[in-house]
Amino acid sequence: MGNKRKICIMGMGYIGLPTAALLANRGYQVYGVDVNQNVIDTINCARIHIVEPDLDEFVYSAVKSGSLVVNIEPAEADIFMIAVPTPFHADKYNEITNSPIPNVDHIVDAAKKIAPYVKSGNLILLESTSPVGTTGMLADVLKKERVDINNVFIAHSPERVLPGHILRELIENDRVVGGINNESTKKAADFYRAFVEGDVLETTAKIAEMAKLTENSFRDVNIAFANELSILCDDMDIDIRELVLLANKHPRVNVLKPGCGVGGHCISVDPWFIVDSANGKAKIIEQARRTNDYKADWVIEKIKNQALQFEKDNKRAPKIACMGLAFKPDIDDLRESPALYISDNLNSSLDIVVVEPNIETHNSLQLVSYEQGLQADICVYLVAHSQFDILKLKARDLDFCGLEKST
């Protein structure tokens, strides 16, 4: 163990834990750090607190071999990796666009925590998706904490993984790596090339930051186009599924499938980072974000109208089953989930139950089995979980919010 290169990873969430387990099984000694004692205890018992295929086996192997240990405080290491959340400020909005303002406090806190342990020659990697300029800010924080940043290497390499495929994509996907100087870029790129099979692409810190925001803004804009089409088609009594199928027969057209909104801590968040710093110039990106947020409210109104019609026809209020809470199929991640937003909203005024096979409990929503959910008067399919019986859905496309009376 003494001859292993040591890595300290700040944050044991959806990126930090898979990365820690992967590297621990690749010969590194990994010290994980988290602020949640329950998360720490769970991992140190060789168990996991998130749903991700094969992650349980990786964590079990890493912990039992002694290569992964998690604590509330950092430790000395050769490489420090920051993988903490970057949410919004709850009560602050951009004065120009009235859009959310990114909150990088967790990054600042992580930098301050590792500062006493950083020594000459260390590599410090920021993996958290961040507004442009955050890597430079990280260097400034360390400098204020009396770290000689001239003798350490600082770089940004945003994760590009898809929940449900994280362990595979951590290895196979290309990585963009940008340092605060050329030496930092090279050191960081060399580290990632030790375990990444995809291309490791070298650039500057600012371009690396903007690359991740651009990728997710591009996806958000395309999803917004599909979601707006679905709203228009509903007004025109046009089958959106058939329309998309026919339009995509054009060799240079690829309209996406509409859904009930956009969730997760990437596509639904990252475009706002660009909007916040653009002084009102990111008009398409901002409108796409607002369109996708609006789609969830539109779905809520559709469900409420269906419920009113049912009550009118049957002289009683319907029982409604919301199928799925996660932001995408076959995961337990509820971050920024439109399905959760819809279910929470409906729960305040209608009689609903929720089917979410990937979580066991919820603080405010009543979870039931899929079989129990099918007994509801109205089933609202919000997430295309594989556990849902497609045959019972009459081949409906689950990527679109469908309203079905149960049989």
Alpha carbons 39 and 47: distance in angstroms, whole number: 9
* Interior angle at CA 37, CA 34 and CA 43, nearest 5: 70
Over the chain, what is the mean pLDDT? 93
- Secondary structure of 29-61 in HEC code, one letter for each residue: EEEEECCCHHHHHHHHCCCCCCCCCCHHHHHHH
pLDDT band at residue 393 using 50, 70 and 90 as cut-offs: low
Domain ranges of the chain: 6-211, 213-405
Has residue 406 got a pLDDT over 50? no
Position 2 scores a pLDDT of: 54
Tens of pLDDT, residues 278-311:
999 999 999 999 999 999 999 999 999 999 999 9
Check if 112 is active-site. Answer: no
* 45 vs 404, residue with greater confidence: 45
What is the spatial distance between Cα 55 and Cα 15, in angstroms, rounded to a whole number? 11
Query: Could you give the residue ranges of the DSSP H alpha helices within 77-165?
Result: 105-114, 134-144
Distances (CA, A) of 37 to 34, 41, 61, 64, 253: 7, 6, 21, 19, 49
Task: Give 340-373 pLDDT, tens digit per residue.
Answer: 999 999 999 999 999 999 999 999 999 999 999 9
Q: With bands split at pLDDT 50, 70 and 90, how would you rate the model's confidence at 397?
A: very low
Q: How far apart are CA 337 and CA 296, in angstroms?
A: 10
* Tokens 């240990």 belong to residue: 69
Q: Looking at residue 384, what is its pLDDT?
A: 87
Radius of gyration of the chain (CA): 23
Model pLDDT, residue 390: 56
- Choosing from 113, 187, 212, 295, the catalytic residue is 212
Q: Give the end-to-end CA distance of the chain in Å, rounded to a whole number.
A: 60
Contacts 24+ apart (CB under 8 A), 394-400: 397/241, 397/257, 398/329, 399/257, 399/258, 399/259, 400/230, 400/240, 400/241, 400/257, 400/258, 400/259
In sequence order, the β-bridge partners of residue 176 are 201
Spell 126-158 as b/e; 16+ CB within 10 A means b. bbbbbbbebbebbbebbeeeebebeebbbbbbb
Percentage of residues of the chain with pLDDT beyond 70 = 95
Q: Which fold has domain 6-211?
A: Rossmann fold (3.40.50)
Query: Which position among 266, 322, 379, 401 bears the catalytic label?
Result: 266
pLDDT in tens, 201-223: 999 999 999 999 999 999 999 99
pLDDT number for residue 403: 42
pLDDT digit string (tens) for 264-273?
888 999 999 9
The reported pLDDT for the residue numbered 367 is 97
How far apart are the C-alpha atoms of 376 and 393, rounded to whole Å? 14
Using the CB atoms, write b or e for 5-35: b if 16+ within 10 Å. Answer: ebbbbbbbbbbbbbbbbbbbbeebbbbbbbe
Give the sign of the dihedral formed by CA 63, CA 65, CA 68, CA 69.
positive
Q: Which two tokens stand for residue 222?
A: 């395309």
6-211 and 213-405 in the same fold: yes
Asked if 20 contacts 55 with a C-beta cutoff of 8 angstroms, the reply is no
Residue 331 pLDDT:
87
> Which CATH number is 213-405 given?
3.40.50.720
pTM, rounded to two decimals:
0.90
**What confidence score (pLDDT) does residue 51 get?**
83
Q: Please indicate whether residue 63 or residue 384 has the higher confidence score (pLDDT).
A: 63
Catalytic residue list contains 212: yes
149-191 pLDDT, tens digit per residue, is 999 999 999 988 988 899 999 999 999 999 999 999 999 999 9
Residue bearing tokens 């409420």: 304
Do 49 and 42 form a contact (C-beta atoms < 8 A)?
yes
- pLDDT (0 to 100) of residue 388: 86
Q: What is the pLDDT of residues 10-54, one digit of tens each?
A: 999 999 999 999 999 999 999 999 999 999 999 999 999 998 989
Diameter of the chain by CA atoms? 75
Report the length, in residues, of the chain: 407
Strands, E assignment, 252-388: 319-323, 351-355, 378-381
Which residue shows structure tokens 């990126």? 15
pLDDT the model gives residue 399: 39
Among 395, 270, 273, 397, residue whose Cα is nearest residue 329: 397
Instruction: Quote the pLDDT of residue 392.
Output: 53
Taking CA atoms, 380 is separated from 297, 309, 383, in Å, by: 14, 15, 9
- Helix, strand, coil percentages for the chain (3-state, nearest 5): 40, 15, 40
- Rounded to whole angstroms, the Cα distance separating 93 from 180 reads 29
Return the higher-pLDDT residue of 394 and 327.
327
Angstrom distance (rounded) from CA 288 to CA 241: 21
pLDDT value at 394 more than 60: no
Mention every residue, 6+ apart, whose C-beta is less than 8 A from residue 347: 364, 365
